[in-house]
Amino acid sequence: MKKPDTTLEDAFMKIIDETVSLFEQDKQYVLNYLHRRNVQNKVLDSIFTNYAFGLLSDAIFKVKSENYAITHFLSKSNIDGYDIVSVNDNLGLSNTSIVAFALVMGDDVLCYDTHDKKVFIWLIQTEDGKKIMIEDSLSDFLNRIIQK
The answer to whether the beta carbons of residues 69 and 43 sit under 8 Å apart is: no
The mean pLDDT of 60-74, rounded to a whole number, is: 84
Sign of CA dihedral 53, 130, 117, 39: positive
Does the predicted model carry a pTM greater than 0.75? no
- pLDDT confidence bin for 25, thresholds 50/70/90: low
Closest of 58, 52, 84 to residue 70, by C-alpha: 58
Mean pLDDT of the region 59-69 = 85
